[in-house]
Structures are given as C-alpha cells and as structure tokens.
Structure 1
Amino acid sequence: MSTHARLEDLLRELTPQVLGALLRRYGGFEECEDAVQEALLSAATRWPVEGVPDSPRSWLITVAARRMVDQIRSEQARRHREISAAVQQTPDPLPPADQDDTLVLLFLCCHPALTPASQVALTLRAVGGLTTAEVARAFLVPEATMGPRISRAKQRIKASGASFTMPNAHQWPERLDAVLHVLYLIFNEGYTASSGPDLHREELTAEAIRIIRMLHRSLPDDGEVAALLALMLLTDARRSARTGPDGALIPLAEQDRTQWDTAMIDEGVALITAALSSSPLGPYQLQAAIAALHVQAPRAEDTDWDQIRILYGILRRIAPNPMVTLNHVVAVAMTRGPRAGLELLETLDSDPRIAGHHRLHAVRAHLQEQAGEHTAARANYTLAARRTTSLPEQRYLLERANRLDRPR
C-alpha cells in the first residue's frame, strides 16, 4: 500500500473519532463537521511533508478545536449570548486522546427525531466516511436527492437539542435497528464497492466490524447484534479469494476455499450458533445462518441449497426487500432449475427499487445461460455491465458475455 493510501486510511479511521470529540465539547453537528474537514485538509497537506505526528488523533482534535473556536468568535457580533457560553465560559475539557466517541456519534446519528432513511444516510456520511454519491448508491437514489437529505438531517439533530451522550437503556431499542442497518450498509459498500477500480474497500469493512464489535460488547445478549457481527465475519472471511492477482472478480463457486480465513469462520459460526439458540429469530440471524451454510461447505457442490432456499423464504416473509428476493431466486434456481428461477425473477421487473439495478440483469443473464438461452444471456450480461459503476464487476460481466460468443 502506498504512503498516500495509508494516510487516507488513517484519516478515514480518525474522522468519526475527531468529530465525536468536538461534538462532545461544543455541540453543533454541522459546525463541528466543517471544523473537522478543515483539520483533515490541513493534515493531508502537512503530514506528507512534516511526517505523521506521534498522536495523530490528538493533533486533529487540537487543530479542529482551534478552527471551531475561530468560527465561534467570528460570529460574536451576531450570536453574542451563544458565544459567551461557548468561549467566555470554560467548556468541558477535550476528551482524553484514547477515548473513542465513535459509538456515541453512531447513536446520535440515529436519533429518533430523524426518519429511518435520514438516520442511515447521516451515519453513513459522518461515521462511515462515505461520500454523498456513495450514500446515494447505497439507497438506490440520485445524488441530488441524497445531498439535501443529509443536510436536513443535520439541521434536525441541531433543532432537537440532542446532547452528545449515549442513549439510556429505554432509548436503545428505538435506535438499534437503524444502527444495525447503517453498519450493514457500510460493510456492504466495503465488501463490494459500488464504484471505482477495486472490488473491495477494506477500510470500510474493517470499520464496520470494529464498530459492531464495540456494540456487541455493550449488548452481548442481543441476538441480532451478535448475528450481524457473525454475518460480517463469515462474509469477510472469503475476501482474499474473491479476486485474482489482476484484481478480477472470482465468483463464490469458483473460489479457492483454502484461502478463506478459518479463524473468522470459526468465530462467526460460534456467534450465530449461540444467537440462534438463545434469541428470537431476526433477519440478521437468518442472513448469518445462510452465510454459515456457504462457508461450511467443503466444495461448492456440497452447498446445502435446499436449506438456503428455505431460509431465504423465511427472510422474505419477515424482512421483505428486492435484494432478498433476488437471492431467493438464485436459491430456487439452484434447487429447482434455472427456468423456475427466471419465472420468479419476473416478479421484480415492476419494482422500481431494483428494476434498473445491474444485479437484476446479471442474475437473469446467469439463469438464461444455464437454461441455454445464450443470445438473451449475452444481452443481459452486457446490459448489467453498462449499469454497474464497479470496474471489476463490469469486467467480469463483459467476460461472461464475450464467452458466449466463443465456439462451444
């Protein structure tokens, strides 16, 4: 990894921690985020020349705090009483350098004053470090829609008067669903990047796993928290086998399973086994159970597709969404044949949330290829390739399309 890439990773990791430190001292989501962005810009300019300081987190907090005070003082004439409270009085001291407020920030972003969609969007932006465009792709909406949504969310946080503290025990359930969904989306964006030259964004998967571990330590008896951690581990365990030396995508059935991380698999299987035996069934438990069935099969042909089909059927009933249906289609095709899968796939054509998504066309192409409909399969592989902004996925889909032109 290049020095530039390592610096980017470090700054991304520290961003929510620095933002949390400022929010704890000053409040004001948007103002604190502006100060943090200025500190990050200063670090990106100075550190390559001067070297990374011994305590980069403390350096960023100090610089961002100075920017914050400068900003407060510049508004003194217009906001005299607010300035008196923030500057003339002695504020709470900055938190210790080793205090990580990421989890507090996560729950603040999931404040009940926000709609569920805004909770997820704001957390992806503030905690996950995703760009507005990446958040928009996670929601399957245009960037022009997502930008104002994030800005409105920040204003609602400010208007609610929310304090920068962890919610009490009675408040946790109402925010937990949104928190888990946020971490799920951050992980997915890292595991299969929605755009760019690389299939993975390891800094995002690592951050999602780090935060869900923190949450699991706080809620060790929550089955869905444990299940989401298990799902991430069981999925990320396959990461090194998903691409070849040239970065090309390798589908699950063709991966070298000796490259999978057995320690992550063992931990994930233990977590989901315990959760299923001790907690009410939830959607993350079902997804983790499916992931466990995939990684526990010694060979692709040993995969228990009947059990996977049943689990996806249950998941469709308790947490319906088009991506779950798409995965159920694959399981149906694996157990009942490609034409059964194609028939079920038609139910998604009228769903605007996925009708234009490249994965719908990719699955249809794969099933058409299996059914011997090579002309239609080639057209859908090509269409899927045009509609993805991930270069590894695009190359893989075009290769599949071109392969159908070769003599058989």
Structure 2
Amino acid sequence: MKTILDAIQSPESTPDDFAALPVPEEYRAVTLRANETDMFAGMDSADKDPRRSLHTEHVPTPSLEPGEALVAVMASAVNYNTVWSAIFEPIPTFDFLRRYGRTSPAAKRHDQPYHVVGSDLSGVVLRVGPGVNAWRPGDHVVAHCLSVELEAAAGHNDTMLDPEQRIWGFETNFGGLAELAVVKANQLMPKPDHLTWEESACVGLVNSTVYRQLVSLNGAGMKLGDNVLIWGASGGLGSYAVQYALASGATPVCVVSSPEKAELCRSMGAEAIIDRNAEGYRFWQDAHTQDPKEWKRFGARIRELTGGEDVDIVFEHPGRETFGASVFVTRRGGTIVTCASTSGHVHEYDNRYLWMSVKRIIGSHFANYAEAWAANRLVSKAKIHPTLSKVYPLEQTGQAAHDVHTNSHHGKIGVLCLSPREGLGVRDEATRQRHLNAINRFR
C-alpha cells in the first residue's frame, strides 16, 4: 500500500507507472460480519450502536471482472445506508449479497461472510478489466453508487428501472470504506480538481440523489420561483437540496432542529427557516396517532415565510415522522418527492389531501449515470459545493456512523482511507481559493 500511496502522491507518476504497480493480496476495509447479524436482537433502532458492528480488518483483494475497475481509495464518506447496514435494518445486507451471488459466476464473489460497506469514494484507478476504454490507471476519480447490469431492456431508458440495479457498497460487496474498492467502470466520474480527497468523497451519493430528486424530470423538475420545503436542511441530503434550490432560483423553506443548523442554512443563503424543536412541532400524539392540528400550524408557519404561498415541492426523506405533514402542506397540484425513510418506512397520510388536491408522490432512488455525471459536473464547475463537516480515520468509521445515526452531525462526515492526512489531492488551487469559504462552510 505504501508503494501505491507513494505513486499517487508523486506528480511524476505516469499511467504506465500505475499499471506496473503490484496489486496487494489483501487490504484494510470496514466490514460487517455475517455471524453477528443478531447482535442487536430485541433492541430499539435508536439503541443499536454501529461502533459495535463495524470492524476494520484485512480482507482478500477480489478478482477484477470485465467492465470493472480497481480503485485505490484515498477517502470515503458515511451515508445513511451505512447506518442501516451497521444496525442490520431493515434486513441484514448479507441477504442482498446472497441474492446477488446467485445471479452469475462473477457476482458470486460478492457472497462472502464479510461485507465491505461504503457507497462513496475518491481515489485513483489502479487497474481496469477487459472492455474498459474510458478510464486508465492513474486517473483521479470519484464514484457514484449505482451498480447496474443493463441486460434487461427496461434499464436502457433509465438505468434506475433496470431490474438488476443495486447500490454499490450496500447491496454489493467491496465498497468504498476501504483502501481498495471494486466498481463498474460506468460508476466512475472525474474527481473535481479543486477539492481535496475527503471533500470530493463526500459528494457522490447525496449530490446525485438530490439532483435526480429535485432537478431531473425523473424527479420533481424544480423550476425558477418554486417554493421547496426541505426537511433536515443542514444534513447530508438537505444541505445539497438547499444549494440546488438557491442555484435554480427557487425558495428553500428549511426545516432544522437547532439554532446552529439554522445558522448553517442562513450561511448558504437561505432565509425561510423553521427550527422545528424551538417551535415545538409534534406531528404524532403517540406512536399510532398523528395530529392534524400540527399539520395546519406547520402549514400556516410556512405561509408566513413565503408571503402566503404553499410549497410547490416537498423534499422528503425522514419518512414516517413527517410524511403526513408533507402531504398536507403541499400546494394543490404540487409534488412530494421521497428518497428515503430514516424515521420509518411505513408512511401514513390522509389521502383526501392528496387525491382531492391532485397532488403527486414521486419515489426517487439515487440517480442514473447521466444524472450523476451532470451533478458531478456542477461540483467540478464550483456551482455546488461539498458540505463536509468532520473527518475520521478509517479505523473510527464506527464513530462516524454513530454520529450520523444519532443526527449529531452537520452536512457530511468523511473518512480517510489511504490518504495520510486531510488537505491532499488539490490540483486546481486557483479555483479552490475563489470558493474556499463555501467549501469550508460546514467545517
């Protein structure tokens, strides 16, 4: 690994130098173990601790199949799917690996008694498999997390509709929280030159997800002048949603849970902000009963901030806790677009407010390659900025996941893999200096 790192850090290294590097037989990775999937049995979700289930250990380097690339991972990031993996909810990810392993001889590699997790990376290509022409050893890359087979006709209009699409590092093995990772070549994108390894690693999953959810015609199709309600506006997804709303000429209505998070939204340029804790919103009277009076109070507060208008789009991801309110406050003919259910995946809402007001609910899952590429291009052009707030070393990934699980973080949390320290990997210092305040806003 030291030889690989030396080559990455040398400005004189050529593609031939990288192609000649020996590939280690094993590498350090953050793993889950199949024999521990019952370790949290009987516990409430909130009490399950990723620090117990996530391990840093050496695993064998997998073989490289056609259409794939082996990447030396300089940095990665924690997403909520890492939390789901680590607490074995809604099901252990080993179920995904077993199903994938049955689909082909090549996929059988993924069915292991360990799962290398992680759905983000920035790093350097070490090897490419047969049939890969767009990338070569030495390329500085980031990866999006859509792993797709594209053998079915359904996926060729929108790869998210392919029946064999999976999220890399969640539904597949050999993910990004490691020193090496295996990805399909069509997951790779150019690393933004003005960002460090850890900054660029925290963008791929959330930025692409938000782009499809809000901007793409596969999502809400946000336009100039829209009012957009953004739950968790200072979090991993929400912080990008705020940026996209502002960049598109829309008005973000930011929902946060503390004065500190409200201030982060103001620093991005948002003005309409609701601190739901300070204002005491409680959308559920108990575990089984929602409170429509609170929906109405929430809707009235939104109209105070928008000059009397309801929201055109609700950017949904908390799920069960907020979904009833989201459907209620959306304007007649408006759109609720949902990409996750971090507070529970069984949603309840009053359908009268949906059908009689001709509202739409759109499910949005990650992004296709074209959407991910477009989102990454905006980062490379410094139109959208990373929201990195904290960085951990690889061996403390459990603590990073715990931070996300307990919502004790802002923006995104990065993880150093091969990179020996923060601040490395910048190749366009001039662009970086012009946008340094925005890049560091969440630090």
The alignment's TM-score, normalised by the length of structure 1, stands at 0.26
Bigger helix share: 1
Q: Which has the higher strand share?
A: 2
Larger Rg: 1
Which structure has more relative contact order (CA 8 Å, sep 6+)? It is 2
